[in-house]
Structure 1
């Protein structure tokens, strides 16, 4: 594996913004049906944005692959919180394998590697993956992925005060996912990147999806991806946990992922409008139906702080992702612009 696909160190930012120099250019796939979508994407892109990469899945096929600005279709970009849904899915494979119980105290899996306080004993994996644990949402160790280990980061999280009684509220962040990642390491006996590759990366054929920071990878927000890799992830979620004829998540697990895990809970510290995105489950936000007129939904999304937004609309059987290196509002604005254009394109599809 060359440096282009394993991005670490000081050169990461430069490499993330462009495709690897030794790769062959990949052409756009924009059929006539989707020309209006491409034009809308170009017009809505912020003037100061580096560029974009976009892909659309229509049913069981990739319908659009395109890029603009300084990015190419095979560019590898940091996806920030769009990492959450894939990370959660990898961990949920352990539940399917009956190696992990979502409602068992995580302390049972940590052993003596972390001094886990009695006050935090009720915290379960379900709470960790749905931001209802009460743990510090953004501990400082999330940004210490070279000098701090994952175990040390989890110990810092364990030592920090609880924000609320576990299971009683929702507060979005990355702290809980660090603990979940360490649990996955302990159960699998593999470091996080190797675990993720075994659980999802290799079965999906991912080539460019990796986590920055070997010692303390940011489980909830530290991945980089190419368009093709993320489209494979979306295809698995859309196809009820199956990819390439291989089942990676059980039907029961897929149904759980599509079931709101925070209904009735007080929401605090949420980056999205809590009325427009009222539900959440294992990395996916649930949209209010008013956001996508023309589709019965449900619609799920996993927006990232740098602008990447993947989403799935089961009502119209499509999935899409826009990869950006800009900011969260740019990604959300593009998403809102593209939704009606996608629905119009689907309506115009040949019978």
Structure 2
């Protein structure tokens, strides 16, 4: 009887996945092994389940933990929106309400909304490589870094007018959460995001200052749980993590091409929401596909027209050539999964 049940389950899995032929994606991944630094985990989630999973590389699988760099921003933006949902903060709140030091240096009128969309107007140095990321080691905690943003960085544009991709805005927003909750960023991230989503291999722990913009370690399986929640309009395993309104606000386009003064090459041509790049929009300007790529090569995506989330998880580096590879992989997926958009 037990054997029969197992066989029925296996047949069901085969039937449920048989409707999609991912052999072309398999071939492309195998052919791109060198570009992917010899190892990658690819996963696709649709209709409540993982419909595709492939791992390339010795001992590299969906549970392997690795740094995800700027893919952390999507997680942090979601955490901020939890507290917006709860009414603890407002997107239109000025940061000086929680961090008075910014008023002292004439930056108090920046809003939380500006922080989530990289529109603070504070001068920033683009993080283009690992060496520049490691320069953050001079900070022993998040407060030191935020005070440096307030006292040492100039305002180069009025808030809301110019986009400069950096760690500044998301880290300011994270510090505001610490002030509001009187708890550490790592604690509230675990309570509100990673624990409810069963992301056991995800952590922002650091020997130096926690980095909400780029300091997370995660795994392909963990990050897919987060993407599933976003794709399902804030619900994971029947539990609501974020409101539908919060998801909609995160996926609203807050930039225009003229506003973007700095974007990494891997994201050039995209627009920006909260913690995520908007890759495509419909005729009404509504986001249809989103991403939040990281410096170490991880590339998560959501496609609302086709109703799927996917991730390419690796431990390499991200360059312009990787962008083109990941977009070509998305093109293959898009050719397999039908679109509901006009």
Q: TM-score, normalised by structure 2?
A: 0.83
TM-superposed deviation, 1:191: 0.5
| 1:157 maps onto 2:157 in alignment | no
Give the 3-state SS of the residue equivalent to 2:53 in structure 1. Answer: strand
TM-superposed deviation, 1:303: 1.0
Match of 2:121 among 117, 122, 134: 134
Give the 3-state SS of the residue equivalent to 1:210 in structure 2. Answer: coil
| 1:208 maps onto 2:195 in alignment | no
Who is 2:245 aligned against?
Answer: 252
Flag the 1:58–1:263 CA change in 2: closer, same or farther, 3 A: same
TM-superposed deviation, 1:302: 0.7
Bigger proportion of residues as helix:
2
Flag the 1:335–1:89 CA change in 2: closer, same or farther, 3 A: same
TM-superposed deviation, 1:334: 2.8
| 1:62 maps onto 2:30 in alignment | no
Aligned length: 311
Find the aligned partners of 1:238 and 1:48 in 2 and give their Cα distance: 26
The answer to whether the 8 Å contact 1:137/1:176 transfers is no
Who is 2:310 aligned against?
Answer: 320
Find the aligned partners of 1:273 and 1:204 in 2 and give their Cα distance: 28
Flag the 1:274–1:76 CA change in 2: closer, same or farther, 3 A: closer
Flag the 1:41–1:48 CA change in 2: closer, same or farther, 3 A: closer
Give the 3-state SS of the residue equivalent to 1:300 in structure 2. Answer: strand
Who is 1:13 aligned against?
Answer: none
Give the 3-state SS of the residue equivalent to 2:260 in structure 1. Answer: strand
Find the aligned partners of 1:78 and 1:225 in 2 and give their Cα distance: 6
Who is 2:111 aligned against?
Answer: 124
Task: Name structure 2 gaps, 5 residues minimum.
Answer: 1-13, 127-131
TM-superposed deviation, 1:168: 1.3
Find the aligned partners of 2:55 and 2:228 in 1 and give their Cα distance: 20
Match of 1:199 among 192, 200, 211: 192
- Taking the TM superposition and a 5 Å limit, the aligned residue runs for 1:257-268 are 257-263=250-256, 266-268=259-261
Who is 1:298 aligned against?
Answer: 288
TM-superposed deviation, 1:192: 0.7
Find the aligned partners of 1:145 and 1:209 in 2 and give their Cα distance: 21
Match of 1:76 among 65, 68, 72: 65
The answer to whether the 8 Å contact 1:58/1:318 transfers is yes
